[in-house]
């Protein structure tokens, strides 16, 4: 297992270096003067230009600049935002819990509904239940989630007035962030109604973000179950006289879950992309909205840092999924 872990990490390092080269090169690929782009100052005297250039290290050879950048990244220095002048890592860490909270709730919804739906569809293969469930799953899979979010806002916030349109919590409540997770912080604050306000803000964005992963998980669970249910050992278990429930829950499910867990892990990347749209629609102050805003403000250092951080997170998550996969499926380790 340890060797397997080392091998996976060894593959990761060149990929991470490549990702960092892309993030580094991206600002230099932009049309225009990188000094102006990185400092955010449009018009400057030649002296000022030289001063900033030296300050940012842009007057040195490209390779040195890259190594410098990589050194900064490894020590946690991702540069400074042009707009807010604050360190990028600090901004990221302040916003990341909001995205984690949203993604976590979304994946919870997707797993809690997707796996049972897939199992039921597989057991009742070909029935009306199977067909309608898979029909719904295909619609969910094809859904433009930015539109889906707007529809839900029209229905639940506009017509029914059940949920708020945007943000993480009502403006009535204020408390300093402790964990950064609004559900926990609102409970800790002890203010009456704060928690339910946080929940009502979280529901619609979570549902929207859960839509595509839910559809993918349901489809994957169904096909994995169908494959397992046709195996000989399932027939043996049935022949032994085990109840259908025990056959499914004890024998089939455990093996069918192996590909499903990989699918769930791969959805994390999908989620971070979905967060870009979901957070924009619901003005959810997470890293997805942060990236979109930075693209609009031409805050290139933030785009650069955010790109690298998000790619890094996805790589780590994929590594964890790989390791989990190795744990539950010993065949893969060799």
Partner 1 sequence: MADTAKTQPVTSAALRRQMLAEFWFYFSENRGAVIGLFVFLALVIVAVLAPVIAPHSPFQQYRDAVLVPPFWLAGGNASYLLGTDPVGRDILSRLIYGAQYSLFIGLFVTTLSLTGGILVGLIAGYYRGWVDTVIMRLMDIILAFPSLLLALVLVAILGPSLTNGMIAIALTLQPHFVRLTRAAVMAEKSRDYVTAARLAGAGPFRLMFRTILPNCTAPLIVQATLSFSNAILDAAALGFLGMGAQPPAPEWGTMLAEAREFILRAWWVVTFPGLAILITVLAINLMGDGLRDALDPKMKRS
136 or 323: CB nearest partner 1: 136
- Residue 75, CB-side half-sphere exposure with 13 Å CA sphere: 7
- Residue 228, CB-side half-sphere exposure with 13 Å CA sphere: 25
| CA distances for 21 relative to 29, 136, 207, 255, angstroms | 12, 42, 36, 40
How many helical (H) and strand (E) elements, i.e. helices and strands, does the chain have?
A: 14, 0
198 or 212: CB nearest partner 1: 212
Among 113, 150, 188, 234, binds partner 1 (CB under 8 A): 150
The DSSP H or E segment spanning 209 is helix 194-229
* Three-class DSSP category at 190: coil
The residues near 302 (Cβ < 8 Å, ≥ 6 apart) are 81, 82, 83, 88, 91, 290, 291, 294
Q: Give me the least distance between CB of 184 and partner 1, in Å please.
A: 27
Please, which of residues 236-255 interact with partner 1 by CB under 8 A? none
Q: Give me the least distance between CB of 256 and partner 1, in Å please.
A: 17
Among 117, 182, 204, 303, binds partner 1 (CB under 8 A): 303
Pick the piece of the chain touching partner 1 (CB under 8 A) from 18-26, 72-80, 110-118, 191-199.
Answer: 18-26
* Three-class DSSP category at 80: strand
| CA distances for 73 relative to 66, 67, 93, 275, angstroms | 10, 10, 14, 24
Among 3, 14, 46, 126, binds partner 1 (CB under 8 A): 14
Query: If binding is defined by CB under 8 A, does position 30 make contact with partner 1?
Result: yes
Query: If binding is defined by CB under 8 A, does position 66 make contact with partner 1?
Result: no
Please, which of residues 281-300 interact with partner 1 by CB under 8 A? 291-292, 295-296, 298
Query: If binding is defined by CB under 8 A, does position 126 make contact with partner 1?
Result: no
Chain residues in the site for partner 1 (CB under 8 A): 11, 14-15, 18-19, 22, 26, 29-30, 135, 138-139, 141-144, 146-148, 150-151, 153-154, 157-158, 269-270, 272-273, 276-277, 280, 291-292, 295-296, 298, 303, 307, 310-311, 314-315
């Amino acid at each position: 297992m340890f060797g397997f872990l080392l091998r996976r990490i060894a593959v990761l390092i060149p990929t991470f270096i490549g990702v960092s080269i892309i993030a580094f090169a991206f600002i230099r690929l932009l049309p225009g003067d990188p000094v102006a782009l990185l400092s955010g100052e449009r018009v400057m005297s030649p002296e000022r230009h030289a001063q900033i250039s030296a300050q940012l290290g842009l007057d040195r050879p490209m390779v040195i600049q890259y190594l410098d950048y990589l050194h900064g990244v490894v020590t946690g220095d991702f540069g400074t935002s042009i707009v807010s002048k604050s360190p990028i890592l600090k901004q990221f860490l302040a916003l990341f819990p909001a995205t984690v909270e949203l993604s976590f709730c979304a994946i919870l919804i997707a797993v809690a509904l997707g796996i049972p739906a897939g199992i039921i569809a597989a057991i009742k293969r070909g029935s009306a239940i199977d067909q309608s469930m898979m029909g719904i799953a295909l619609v969910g899979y094809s859904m433009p989630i930015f539109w889906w979010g707007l529809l839900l806002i029209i229905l639940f916030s506009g017509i029914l007035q059940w949920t708020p349109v945007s943000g993480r919590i009502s403006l009535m409540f204020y408390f300093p962030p402790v964990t950064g997770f609004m559900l926990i912080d609102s409970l800790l604050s002890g203010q009456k109604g704060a928690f339910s306000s946080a929940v009502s803000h979280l529901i619609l964005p979570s549902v929207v973000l859960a839509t595509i992963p839910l559809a993918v998980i349901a489809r994957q669970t169904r096909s994995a179950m169908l494959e397992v249910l046709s195996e000989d050992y399932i027939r043996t278990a049935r022949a032994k006289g085990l109840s259908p429930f025990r056959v499914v829950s004890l024998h089939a499910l455990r093996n069918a879950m192996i590909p499903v867990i990989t699918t769930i892990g791969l959805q994390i990347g999908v989620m971070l992309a979905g967060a870009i749209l979901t957070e924009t629609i619901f003005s959810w102050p997470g890293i997805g909205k942060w990236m979109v805003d930075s693209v609009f403000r031409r805050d290139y250092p933030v785009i650069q840092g955010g790109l690298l951080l998000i790619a890094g997170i996805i790589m780590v998550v994929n590594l964890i999924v790989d390791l989990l996969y190795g744990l539950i499926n010993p065949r893969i380790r060799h």
